[in-house]
Amino acid sequence: MFPLYIALLSSISPLEIVAHRAIWSLVFVLILIAIFRQWAALHRALTPRTIGLLAAAIMFLSINWLVYVYAIDINEVVQGALGYFINPLVSVALGVILLSERLGRTQWVAIGIAALAVLVLTISYGGVPWISLTLAFSFGLYGLIKKRANVDALPSLAIETAVITPIAVAYLWFLEAHGEAAFIQDGLGISVLLVLLGPITAIPLLAFGAAAIRIPLSTLGIIQYVTPTVIFLLGITVFGESMPALRWVGFGLVWIALVIFTADAWRRSRVPVIEPD
């Protein structure tokens, strides 16, 4: 439902929204660390390797945040939804390219159909759907780096947001110095909405991190499709975006690819593992 929230902040630039999102997420996460007494876990995570990896991760996540807010701002919510539909397939492609993972024939078929879908949508949009591809690849790379870092959800998000917060503070200070900052100047209502970006951002990320270690990956993958489905429905209903016939064809191909991919993942997860004697 995040597009509906961002629509309330339509008078504020996407970059300023992302800056507040980072700062207030850090504040919220530090409060949670204090409540759950996770300071020791945070301290253990503060190694040069982990900080470097999470610094890279938050850069990709910040790009994702900025492009997503921008997509809502220019009324391209449907293209934003497409990015999150493509994301699972992009994650597979990144595994092949960067981790030398091998795909089965069925998975290659799904990737091929997804590539065809991007071609069809490129024709439909009159250009490469860069918003969708940026969202898909930035979040895919974020997930890949987070997996390499292997840090618990709270300490991880604390380090990530701590890395980006000085940049966010500097940018907001610059806006304040030029009388262009929305915080306080645009009234109490806007200020409260900006502060609440912290929990609204952090809670889903923490919940995702917690779910990832508690439920089967195949189940998690299917649940992840709820988000782009809701975003897509908001785009064509609340935001009133048009869907020409060719665009429906492109989305249809994406959905076919996802069905094939998910069914194959589900089948593989049900195959019993035979332990050696």
Average pLDDT along the chain, 277 residues, taken 10 residues at a time = 91 93 95 93 92 94 94 92 84 77 81 87 87 91 86 90 95 90 85 94 81 66 78 91 90 87 75 53
Report the distance separating Cα 39 and Cα 46, nearest Å: 11
**Residue 45: how many other CB atoms lie within 10 Å:** 20
Contacts of 126-133 with C-beta under 8 Å, sequence gap 24+, read 129/79, 129/82, 131/67, 131/70, 131/71, 131/76, 131/79, 131/80, 131/83, 132/79, 132/80, 132/82, 132/83, 132/86, 133/83, 133/86
For residue 126, CA distances in Å to 2, 137, 141, 194, 249 come to: 27, 21, 27, 35, 15
Q: Looking at the domain assignment, is residue 6 inside a domain? A: yes
Give the integer Cα–Cα distance in Å for 72 and 90. 22
Kindly state whether residue 276 falls inside one of the protein's structural domains. no
The Cβ of residue 46 has, within 10 Å, a number of other Cβ atoms equal to: 13
Identify whether the C-beta of residue 250 lies closer than 8 Å to the C-beta of residue 124: yes
Gap between the Cα atoms of 200 and 149, Å rounded: 24
Domain contains 277: no
Considering the entire predicted model, what is its pTM? 0.84
CB 133 within 8 A of CB 71: no
Is 153 inside any structural domain? yes
Q: Is residue 184 domain-resident?
A: yes
Cβ proximity of 133 and 80 under 8 Å: no
Per-residue pLDDT, 219: 64
Domain extent, residue 263, equals: 2-269
In a domain, 275, yes or no: no
Is 136 inside any structural domain? yes
Instruction: Give 143's DSSP letter.
Output: H
274 part of a folded domain: no
- Total number of domains constituting the chain: 1
Q: What is the pLDDT of residue 221?
A: 63
